[in-house]
Amino acid sequence: MSGKCLWITVALFLTFATSLLQAQPDQIQLDHTAAFGSKQRTSVTFPHMRHIEAGLSCKDCHHRYDQGKNVLEESDLNEGTPNIRCSECHSSASRFKLREAFHRQCMDCHSKKKTGPRFCGECHRK
């Protein structure tokens, strides 16, 4: 009986873990025209699943800082969760406005890891 219970527990865990990863779309369209006003470049198609497959943790990109520490709970990263969008904190009144926050987050990581797009046209494709 205990072996059967273990298999059921493992199966439930795998089902739950898989559903969490599949809950996120493979490609996310980053189009914040409303926040940016006029567009100087095209919106960005962000390959979310490629970043997961590369071994990045959710907190490598997503953050909520309190006294210099990322206190974000990964369980908050569900679409529709209030106040989880980047634009909630990165407004025109914040230290890093939304456009700058996106650029710093993406470009700094790509520069450090020496992989991924590092020039405007590689993300903002025509």
Can you tell me the mean pLDDT for 22-38?
79
Per CATH, the homologous superfamily of domain 26-123 is: Cytochrome C3 (3.90.10.10)
Q: Any idea what the Cα angle at residue 35 is, between residues 73 and 76, rounded to 5°? A: 10
pLDDT at 5: 60
**Residues 72, 62: contact at Cβ < 8 Å?**
yes
Question: Confidence class of residue 32 from pLDDT cuts 50, 70 and 90?
Answer: confident
pLDDT at 33: 82
pLDDT at 126: 85
pLDDT tens across 47-63, in order? Answer: 999 999 999 999 999 99
pLDDT at 19: 45
Helix (H, G, I), strand (E, B) or coil at 37: coil
- Asked if residue 112 has pLDDT above 70, the reply is yes
Mean pLDDT score across all residues of the chain: 83
pLDDT at 82: 77
In sequence order, what E strands does the chain have? Answer: 27-30, 44-47, 65-66, 69-70
Question: Confidence class of residue 18 from pLDDT cuts 50, 70 and 90?
Answer: very low
Q: Which residue type does 76 have?
A: D
- What is the domain partition of the chain in residue ranges? 26-123
Report the alpha-carbon distance of residue 101 to residue 97 in Å, rounded: 6
